[in-house]
Structures are given as structure tokens and as C-alpha cells.
Structure 1
Amino acid sequence: MYFPTYTTTHLEDWVSDWYLKLHITTPSQLMAYTIARKYETFLHRKPVSPHYEVFGRFRAITVDSRRTKEVQREQFYHEFCHVLRHVGKQTMMTDAFRKLQERDARHFTFYAALPYHMISQYDINNPHLVNQWAKDFRVTTELCRKRLQQIKERETQYRLNKQR
């Protein structure tokens, strides 16, 4: 284990457990079409803003085909969170509830794109870790950098709390 003082969140554990139930254990298995298909969700790539639709049993996610494959993958995770975890039509809900769902989808994107049970196999001290994650998980270096920062901040907080 390369993150000895890192404590996962409930959402992070939920995402890893969810992947493990689907037998997704390596970055190469993180394929948007396959994940969408397992949840009977259509995935479309069109030159429009990313969004999701749920009408009864019909579920669809559209990602912006004008963006890079890495950005499209991140858009998929964000929209998939809404399909998988949220209810209601965002245009009809209060601003606070909509913001809460968006925050959850942002966090879900980190954890679904770079799940703990996979990234914990990497050496956090590797100076090329961000680029390695971006290559292996096929996401942007920006997302990888933010995920690594999140991990390091949580480890620092753990050490500070332990000193008290």
C-alpha cells in the first residue's frame, strides 16, 4: 500500500465497492460504453454540452464530441453520477439541492475516474505519477493533479490530527 495514512471517504469506498461488484479491477476495464451498458444507459457523443436524461426506465448520457476523449470520459463519469445516484429534474429543484448534487457529481468523478482500489497500487512519491495516471486511466492531467492534491491534503490532515 502506497498511501499509508490516507483515509477514504464513504463515497470513495462506495465507488470502489461498486466497481469491485462489477469485477472492474484495472484501469483498462474502465470503459464508459461497457459501464453504461451494464446499467442500461445509452451513451451518445454529440457536439453539444454534456447532459443526462432519465424518463421512466429510459436513461441516456450525452458527452460533447468536440472535446478530447479524456474530457469526454470525465464528462461521462459526472453525468453517470446523476443517473446512478440522483433523483429529480435539476431545473425544478432548489438551488441548494442542485448545488449539492453537482458537488456529489464532482467528487464522484474523481473517485470513478481514479478509484482508490486501483490508484493505491501506485507509488505516491513517483514524480511522474500524474502523467502515469493520466496515461493509464485515460483522463486529463488536471484531474489527476487535483486527485493527487486531495490525497496529499488528506494525509497531511491525518498527520496533524494525530499530533494533537
Structure 2
Amino acid sequence: MSYSTYTEDFIEGLYTKLGIFLPQQLDLNVIAHKLGIFVYYWENPSQVLFLGAQAYIFLNQELSPKQLWQDFCHELCHVLFHSGSQEKMPYSWIEYQEWKANNFMLQACVPAFMLKKVNFPESEDKSIQLIQELFNVEWDFAHKRLEQYKNNKYLHELDSKKVKMF
């Protein structure tokens, strides 16, 4: 039996609906365009702005392409799931939204349904490098996503009594 989280299912459904099935199709400009989100680059930290029903993602222009992709996915979570200005929210609610956005970012940048199709090398370092190259993310990000993926896979397989990491 295969298990997945709500976020994994949501991302797979979203990307499938957008016609995105492969890592090389993960492009922030294409995704933003297909979702009707305007993306701008500026000197300030990345953030989202809503004007009426229109969402705008502002990305820090000083970031590398990998960091831009990661920031875009973080901000995309705010567009899809959050509303209102954080300036008026209790700090605990802001922390919760940021935690959710960081988790979403990990999974949107490196979707589980795509990871399932990857033939991982025996070495963890080589697996991290492969994720980094396939999904255009930084080393630390790829390492964190691999650990998250392995832990989820381990827990699901442990649940069904079939413990095997790769």
C-alpha cells in the first residue's frame, strides 16, 4: 500500500494539472504564468503581495537561480494557502505559516511523485548531488529533502512491515 501526505498529493495534483511531470519542467516562470501569478525581481527580501484577487511574488534579484526557485516555492505556498497581512497576525501564527511554507517549499521544489522515479546511487552524497542537479536546488536543501523523503518512506514502509531505505 502506498501512502502520501496531503501536501504531496496537492503538489502532484497541481503539477499534473499544469502539465508538469518531469524535473526539467519545473520552471518558476512557467508555473507562475500558468497560475496567473505575476513575478517581479527587486532588491528586498522575497515576499508576496495581494492586490484584490491578484497575487504578485517579489523575488530578491540578488539570489542565485537555485535560491530563486526555492524562494518562489516558499512564496507560492503563501499564495495558495495563506491570506492577509502578517503584520497584523500574532507571532505564533506567523511562525506556523512560515513552517508550512518551508515544508511546502521542500516538497514543491523536489516533488515526491518525481523522487519515486529516481534511481538513487548507493552513496548518500551522490544521491544528494543527483537531487541537486535534477531539481536545481542547493546542496543543503537537497540533503534536507532527501532526509525528509527517506524518513517518510521509512515510516510508511515500517507501517506496512517492509523496511527498506532504497
Under a length normalisation based on structure 1, what TM-score does the superposition of the two structures give? 0.88
In the alignment, residue 47 of structure 1 is paired with which amino acid?
A: E
RMSD of aligned alpha carbons: 1.9
The equivalent of 2:129 in structure 1 is 131
Comparing 150-159 with 78-87, greater Cα deviation is found at 150-159
Residue in structure 1 matched with residue 25 of structure 2 by the alignment: 29
Q: Which residue of 2 aligns with 1:105?
A: 101
Query: In the alignment, what sits opposite 1:14?
Result: 10
Q: Does structure 2 retain, via aligned residues, the 8 Å contact 1:47–1:64?
A: yes
Letter in 2 for 1:107: N
Per-residue deviation, residues 10-47 of structure 1 (Å, max 9, x unmatched): 11111111111111001111111111111221111222
Match for residue 143 of structure 1 among 125, 141, 144: 141
- Corresponding residue of 1:62: 58
Any gaps of 5 or more consecutive residues in structure 2? 162-166
Match for residue 47 of structure 1? Answer: 43
Mapped contact 1:50–1:75 kept (Cα < 8 A): yes
Q: Give, in whole Å, the separation in 1 of the partners of 2:129 and 2:41.
A: 26
- Distance, in Å, in 1 between the alignment partners of 2:136 and 2:7 is 22
Report the Cα distance in structure 2 between the residues aligned to 1:148 and 1:7, rounded to whole angstroms. Answer: 17
Q: CA deviation at 1:161?
A: 4.9
Indicate the structure whose relative CO is greater, using CA pairs within 8 Å and at least 6 residues apart.
Answer: 1
Amino acid at match of 1:154: N
Query: What is the CA–CA distance in structure 2 between the aligned matches of 1:58 and 1:152, rounded to whole Å?
Result: 37
| Conserved? CA contact 2:47–2:75, under 8 Å | yes
Q: Give the alignment's TM-score, normalised by structure 2.
A: 0.87
Measure, in 2, the Cα distance between the counterparts of 1:113 and 1:101. 18
Identical pairs, percent: 26
8 Å Cα contact 1:71/1:140 also seen in 2: yes
Consecutive unaligned residues of structure 1, counting only runs of 5 or more, are: none
- Alpha-carbon distance in 2 for matches of 1:125, 1:6: 22
1:58 Cα offset (Å) = 2.6
Runs of 4+ more than 6 Å apart: none
The answer to whether the 8 A contact 1:41-1:60 is kept is yes
